[in-house]
Chain A
Amino acid sequence: GIQVEQSPPDLILQEGANSTLRCNFSDSVNNLQWFHQNPWGQLINLFYIPSGTKQNGRLSATTVATERYSLLYISSSQTTDSGVYFCAVAYNQGGKLIFGQGTELSVKP
């Protein structure tokens, strides 16, 4: 089946710094989503981005489907950005998502 790899696995930032998270996937996909899981376990939709570029405030994402990767950019990081960021993809039938292992981000004040 399709493989989803995220890097880096862990990231520690000082408040105000910028960061880039990467998601590689091993086959063509027709759905790619980025999520933020907060310390309480809530999974928050950040982007639905099977291709192209989107921006939402300090966050932006780019997916290059032909090269099978997606990037999540976080600018001017804040302590509330801490948590785990997941990339998930879906392909062919059913829409079921395959999740990566996540990037755990810690933003220090």
Chain B
Amino acid sequence: DGGITQSPKYLFRKEGQNVTLSCEQNLNHDAMYWYRQDPGQGLRLIYYSQIVNDFQKGDIAEGYSVSREKKESFPLTVTSAQKNPTAFYLCASSSRVHRGNQPQHFGDGTRLSIL
């Protein structure tokens, strides 16, 4: 089945540790996105990528890093510089973006907590 797979579903981070969240899609989409959701809030954009080997910061990029070496993969690293990483992280993808008018499809998310 076509879709977006995020792993793991639950992740725990120790103080000072970097962790990487996986996002894979087999929809042949060009654009991929990472969002963060805090309890009772809407989603906020961390990073996005419109094509391979290119990505841009979103509204809350500090303390995060990404790579886009393959079209189907867009991993997110939560670094030790992110002081409040506990949140629900959602990955999304869309077909080639032309003036932002393509619908985004979401994975099932990863819940990250601090030990």
User: A residues near B, CB below 8 A?
Assistant: 4, 30-31, 33, 35, 40-43, 45, 48, 50, 86, 88, 90-102
Contacts and interface: CB of A to CB of B under 8 A. Distances in A.
B26 interface: no
Contact of B104 (A41, A91, A95, A100): A95
A45 B44 CA distance: 17
A56 to B, nearest CB: 14
B104 A97 contact: yes
B97 interface: yes
Chief secondary structure at chain B's binding surface: strand
Chief secondary structure at chain A's binding surface: loop
Contact of A92 (B90, B99, B108): B99
Contact of B101 (A30, A41, A88, A99): A30
